Amino acid sequence: MQLKATIRGRTYAFSSVKEVLGRSNPPKSGDDLAGVSAREAVERVAARAVLAELTLAELRENPVVPYEEDELTRLVEDSLDPQAYAAIRDLTVGQLREWLLEPGTTGALIRSISPGLTPEMAAAVCKLMSNLDLMVAGARCEVVVRANSTLGLPGRMSSRIQPNHPTDSVQGILCSTREGLSYGCGDAVIGVNPATDTPESTAEILRALHDLRVRNQIPTQHCVLSHVTVQMKALELGCPMDLMFQSLAGSERANRAFGISVGLMDEASELMRARTTNQGPNFMYFETGQGSALSSEAHHGADQVTMEARCYGFARRYQPFLVNTVVGFIGPEYLESGRQITRAGLEDHFMGKLLGLPMGCDACFTYHADMSQDELESLKVLLGAAGCAYLMSLPVGDDIMLNYQSSSFHDIPSVRALLGKRPTPEFDAWLHEREIMDGLSPGPRFGDPEVIR
């Protein structure tokens, strides 16, 4: 294994695959904080040159967290598809990049090799790609899932309504939800982050959203994003639940800080399989985001892109209906600026899709990050063009409970019209029936929340 490269007479030597992966990343404040980023621009290119020549087999043999120490590494290693792996094992990372960009590489072909890829491989190829590379390859990946509606079909872009409320007022949540539906949003999920993490309040919100969905015959699904153990108790209270949610991290230790493990998630998804109110077959919903492992000091000296990819290695075990990277929420110590947040959104979307997940993105910023509203609006168009399965949507993009800025109800129909994208086919028909949309144009009841009762 060659871990040295020379640029203009200077030789750069790296001590491990993990170090090469870290030094290859485009600049991120979180990698600086962790001390794993390139110390200068030329070193970064040297690391990429080394990375481009590593084979995928070498990446499999060098996971960033050892097999013995980490259940996620074991999960990935033990469940890798031998046939898919055999097809790609001798490619270098540079060749994988080129294969993904080749004209003959169809979505179906990518799907055929995906179960043979480890998260480290997805992260590695990501580091050799520019933003436009990530978009071109991301748009090519084919991931289609189904619950009460069918998400991820070509030419479609969906959205989550996120009607959060600082005190979980059900009336307040329903007001935001009705507003969002009247703008054609909510075909991915109507999902509430609760202020109070109890089974009773989770069940109360779920019942109210379920009633709204049934009353108005809306072909979508609902979810309350409390801790998975709270949702399991809520299910035992007998409430309707279309999707079960959990935040995931990229190492066993980081997941312990989230209060979860592979065993717990197995149990949760089995309970959900038995109890869910959605028509299936997909019923889990996960959120991830670069920097979460470092924030709990559980990154094992790896960079945040690689740790993020490892979340997807965990998520794919459960064939989720939605996976969402919350890309600018964590704060400037991990993603400092609009440039870094934009890059991270495109990276995560690509890596998740490559690993077979229906990737959405919460393109967002906190008010202490150096990102402008204009940069955020641009990112939504980039994600839409890259084939992102869904974006968030909130009133004016303002989360009044979590205090950050995301996409708005108005942004979804705007991006759809610009890119010629439609919502899920089921939801599209419902919007037409309710006269909210007329194809890609606003219909007579567009923006009128009274159309939903």
**Of the two residues 216 and 319, which places its CB atom closer to another protein in the complex?**
216
Report DSSP letters for 110-166, one per residue. Answer: HHHHGGG--HHHHHHHHHT--HHHHHHHHHH----EESSSEE--TTB-EEEE----T
- Is residue 171 at the binding interface for another protein, with CB under 8 A as the rule? yes
**Of the two residues 176 and 306, which places its CB atom closer to another protein in the complex?**
176
- Is residue 35 at the binding interface for another protein, with CB under 8 A as the rule? no
Distance between alpha carbon 252 and the CA centroid of its chain, in Å?
A: 19
**Residue where the block lists tokens 């153990």:** 229
Q: Supply 6's token pair.
A: 């020379």
- Tell me the per-residue interface mask from 365 to 394 with another protein, x by CB under 8 A, - otherwise: -xxx-x--x--------------------x
**Of the two residues 183 and 314, which places its CB atom closer to another protein in the complex?**
183
Among 92, 159, 176, 406, binds another protein (CB under 8 A): 176
What number of other Cβ atoms are within 10 A of residue 368's Cβ? 9
- Is residue 8 at the binding interface for another protein, with CB under 8 A as the rule? no
**Of the two residues 20 and 436, which places its CB atom closer to another protein in the complex?**
436
- Is residue 27 at the binding interface for another protein, with CB under 8 A as the rule? no
Among 82, 166, 301, 420, binds another protein (CB under 8 A): 166
Cα gap 64→134, rounded to integer Å:
23
Q: How many CA atoms lie within 13 A of 440 on its CB side?
A: 12
Distance between alpha carbon 71 and the CA centroid of its chain, in Å?
A: 21
- Single out the residue of 63, 109, 106 nearest to residue 84, CA to CA: 109
- Is residue 261 at the binding interface for another protein, with CB under 8 A as the rule? no
Name the helix (H) or strand (E) containing 70.
Answer: none
Scanning 16-24, 60-68, 331-339, 422-430 for contacts with another protein by CB under 8 A, the matching segment is 331-339
**Of the two residues 111 and 410, which places its CB atom closer to another protein in the complex?**
410
- Is residue 259 at the binding interface for another protein, with CB under 8 A as the rule? no
- Is residue 433 at the binding interface for another protein, with CB under 8 A as the rule? no
- Is residue 26 at the binding interface for another protein, with CB under 8 A as the rule? no
Strand, coil or helix: what is 297?
Answer: coil
Among 183, 283, 286, 318, binds another protein (CB under 8 A): 183
Scanning 44-52, 97-105, 109-117, 161-169 for contacts with another protein by CB under 8 A, the matching segment is 161-169
Minimum distance, C-beta of residue 13 to another protein, in the bound complex (Å): 29
Residue pair 101/137 in contact by the 8 Å Cβ criterion: yes
Report DSSP letters for 234-271, one per residue. Answer: HHHTT---S-EEEE--SSHHHHHHTT--HHHHHHHHHH
Q: What is the total count of residues that contact another protein (CB under 8 A)?
A: 50
- Is residue 199 at the binding interface for another protein, with CB under 8 A as the rule? no
Minimum distance, C-beta of residue 197 to another protein, in the bound complex (Å): 8
Minimum distance, C-beta of residue 298 to another protein, in the bound complex (Å): 14
Residues 6+ apart with CB under 8 A from 168: 192, 194, 195, 196, 201, 204, 205
Distance between alpha carbon 301 and the CA centroid of its chain, in Å?
A: 23
Residues 332-371 that bind another protein (CB under 8 A): 332-333, 336-337, 366-368, 370
Scanning 39-47, 191-199, 224-232, 245-253 for contacts with another protein by CB under 8 A, the matching segment is 191-199
Strand order in the sheet with 158-161: 222-224, 189-192, 158-161, 390-393, 359-362, 322-326, 284-288, 244-247
Minimum distance, C-beta of residue 294 to another protein, in the bound complex (Å): 11
Q: Supply 175's token pair.
A: 């007001």
Residue pair 221/160 in contact by the 8 Å Cβ criterion: no
Strand, coil or helix: what is 219?
Answer: coil
Strand 359-362 versus strand 284-288 pairing type: unpaired
Scanning 70-78, 81-89, 144-152, 395-403 for contacts with another protein by CB under 8 A, the matching segment is 395-403
- Is residue 179 at the binding interface for another protein, with CB under 8 A as the rule? yes
Q: Supply 390's token pair.
A: 């869904």
- Tell me the per-residue interface mask from 90 to 129 with another protein, x by CB under 8 A, - otherwise: ----------------------------------------
Residues 6+ apart with CB under 8 A from 286: 245, 246, 247, 248, 311, 315, 318, 320, 322, 323, 324
- Is residue 144 at the binding interface for another protein, with CB under 8 A as the rule? no
Cα gap 144→412, rounded to integer Å:
20
Minimum distance, C-beta of residue 35 to another protein, in the bound complex (Å): 11
Cα gap 51→419, rounded to integer Å:
35
Cα gap 138→122, rounded to integer Å:
12
Scanning 78-86, 259-267, 284-292, 327-335 for contacts with another protein by CB under 8 A, the matching segment is 327-335
The residue ranges that bind another protein (CB under 8 A) are: 29, 32-33, 163, 165-167, 169, 171-173, 175-176, 178-179, 183, 195-197, 331-333, 336-337, 366-368, 370, 373, 394-396, 398, 400-401, 403-405, 410, 413-414, 417, 442, 444-450
